Structure 1
């Protein structure tokens, strides 16, 4: 059991050092897990491919978001994949609800500690989003709070698609940095 944890830490250190081959090893080892989890939740292979790519790009761009002292790389990547897949499903449900009109959904029971942690995280994210410059805040709000794609963001703001995508990526990077600073 100790070998995979030590292996995770070494791989993590190599990714932090910018070694692309290490990211390839992480991908080879964990992509089936991430993809499989996403497929089970979204039931959509194309969306799951996108989620898998997003998870590994996020890890490459912000490898320090993973803390080996708090768990395994496998569990962390699975958690990120799960959250993104659930976010996708929820966004799809919101879109369906807006097309079909209001309907009554019975909420799933949540554990109290999950609810508290989720609210604390959400409050921290909302605060960090509020501190972003206007041009980044508006693309993040459209993409993540209103469920718009980058193409829809570009259309709504009258921006080229590449600019919208770049602003979303930059906004997310700044959010991750702000949240990382806040947690230290």
Structure 2
């Protein structure tokens, strides 16, 4: 059994969208939990087994998988027919893994540091900065409409997510903005938002 611990309007919302894109909503038990929010609201939820009280957390037959990029890799490997990932042996499997890892290792730290208005040479050397993030995205989007080619993938879903929930961090670069618009024009974007709306009302 697959169980997803989810807090509406949080980083786990992108996993809800992925589950919808994969067509497996009826195969996942979604547990709504509370989390501590940046505005001071929320808090630790005893119903959430994540050791740090965070989301998303996926549990598959008793095994916990945490971190968005790990969960996305796990699910796209588990349901390859949807075409949102790249299986072992496919030519662009390495690119797929790299985009997923780059998000967690570089993009999110850069956006968080920028939002916190923190700057230090060590951070710059380790993570680089927003200009480098934009340059990497732009270089790929000059070649293909999505990160892995002509079709939307879980890599796009993950990389576009911070620019959806932190719109102030969205670079004023036409190629990047057009890519965000393409990703957000897909039905799953609205469906995931409606799911969260319903969860909050409930």
Normalization by structure 1: what TM-score?
Answer: 0.31
Query: Of the two, which has the highest radius of gyration?
Result: 1
Higher strand share: 2
Q: Which has the higher contact order (CA 8 A, sep 6+)?
A: 2
